[in-house]
Amino acid sequence: MRALILGGTTDANQLAAAIARAGIDAVYSYGGRTRAPAGQPLPTRIGGFGGIAGLVEYLRRERITHVIDATHPFAAEMSRNAVAACAQTGTPLLALERAAWIRTAGDNWIEVADVISAVAALPEHRANVFLAIGRQHVAPFGTRPQHAYTLRFVDPPDATLPLPEADVIVSRGPFTLDDEVAMLRTRGIAWIVARNSGGTGARAKIDAARGLGIPVIMIDRPHLPERARVESVADVMQWLGHRACLGA
Ligand code: 3Y8
Ligand code: NAP
């Protein structure tokens, strides 16, 4: 058995620890998005594979027998490529995917399908807006220059932002409720734009928003192709352990 973990999330890190403890031969893969990704207790590779064909070639060359897609729910291209490459090579694939956050009483959410709809959902009048969606999708907010934006990136911005008024917090998370409440209060944030990432690492801002009565423009997840999926590390280990005893 040799497993490939498509990583880059808290869940993937917890899976890597469990797989290392079990002594299973595995490789952890980052996309190379951040300057200093967290270290892993497994051999690690960083960077794209080169599309579906590149991943097919990697699976064959590295004799990968199992793929676990533990990427983020918004890492849609990676997940789609994994489905295609595993189908092409007949490699068992399992997604470790946390459930979406569900709106509860007290949540003031405006649910939208994508970033463009999130921009359209902002008010016309000037407001203090917290963009908690990283750096890859900031440009569309340039059509709403009237707002005072707070953004949060993992690494410092490497270019000027297309927003006349933007203050960047550099922090990689996971984030705590107290810190999120303090930040939102100090900055007088009146609107939050977030992705429905699920999980615990980004949840604190959503709980803080509920407590402070701040509306959240919540971007729904992209649709992914059908694939086997579980929500816990234990289920992944069972999937691996089960196949290991069948001698796969
Ligand atoms: C490179 C690995 C751990 C893992 C931490 C999780 C939790 C904190 C919440 C906010 C939202 C955001 C962003 C976020 C979260 C965890 C987890 C998660 C959101 C690292 C990591 C990599 C990335 C890539 C990065 C994206 C960006 C997205 C910031 C490591 C820290 C906004 C997603 O600069 C860039 O280009 C960053 C790009 C993809 C989304 C975007 O479009 O900008 N994550 N995040 C992974 C790789 O190279 O393969 O550097 O160690 C992982 C984590 N990010 O250590 O416990 O598991 O969800 N990551 C979102 O939710 O919208 C922050 O600020 O409230
Ligand atoms: P994406 O848009 O789905 O993927 C774009 C391309 O990046 C993929 O086609 C692949 O390149 C490469 N790639 C992505 N993840 C990879 C991985 N783990 N290992 C190797 N190559 C990878 O991906 P993304 O949304 O930018 O996410 C990139 C990474 O950040 C992932 O590890 C993801 O788990 C993590 N992350 C993303 C978010 C988010 O909001 N998107 C949040 C937290 C963490 P090739 O086609 O060349 O193979």
Same domain assignment for residues 121 and 209:
yes
Task: Using the predicted structure, report yes or no on whether residue 24 has a pLDDT greater than 60.
Answer: yes
Q: What is the mean pLDDT of residues 148-161?
A: 95
Two structure tokens written together for 34:
């951040």
Which residue is it, tokens 């999330």?
Answer: 9
Same domain assignment for residues 133 and 215:
yes
Establish if 248 belongs to a structural domain: no
Same domain assignment for residues 201 and 234:
no
Same domain assignment for residues 215 and 228:
no
Any idea what the CATH number is for the domain that residue 34 is in? 3.40.50.720
Same domain assignment for residues 51 and 123:
no
Percent of the residues in the chain that have a pLDDT greater than 90, as a whole number? 92
* pLDDT tens for each residue of 49-78: 999 999 999 999 999 999 999 999 999 999
Same domain assignment for residues 53 and 152:
no
Establish if 246 belongs to a structural domain: no
Kindly state the greatest CA–CA separation across the chain. 63
Same domain assignment for residues 54 and 86:
yes
| Cβ–ligand 2 contact at 48 (below 6 Å) | yes
Task: Using the predicted structure, report yes or no on whether residue 245 has a pLDDT greater than 70.
Answer: no
Q: How far is the CA of 204 from the centre of ligand 1 (A)?
A: 14
| Cβ–ligand 2 contact at 75 (below 6 Å) | yes
- 34 is in which domain, residue-wise? 3-99+223-239
Same domain assignment for residues 91 and 125:
no
Establish if 89 belongs to a structural domain: yes
Question: β-strand 26-30 against 216-219: which pairing, if any?
Answer: unpaired
| Cβ–ligand 1 contact at 153 (below 6 Å) | yes
Question: β-strand 66-69 against 128-131: which pairing, if any?
Answer: unpaired
Establish if 142 belongs to a structural domain: yes
Question: What pLDDT shows up at residue 123?
Answer: 96
| Cβ–ligand 2 contact at 198 (below 6 Å) | no
Same domain assignment for residues 22 and 116:
no
Task: Using the predicted structure, report yes or no on whether residue 248 has a pLDDT greater than 50.
Answer: no
CB-based burial label for 151 (10 Å; 0-12, 13-18, 19+): buried
| Cβ–ligand 1 contact at 147 (below 6 Å) | no
Same domain assignment for residues 214 and 227:
no
Structurally, the chain folds into a number of domains equal to 2
Same domain assignment for residues 10 and 95:
yes
Same domain assignment for residues 68 and 168:
no
Q: Which protein residue has the closest C-alpha to ligand 2 atom 38?
A: 72
Two structure tokens written together for 47:
């960077």
The verdict on pTM exceeding 0.85 is yes
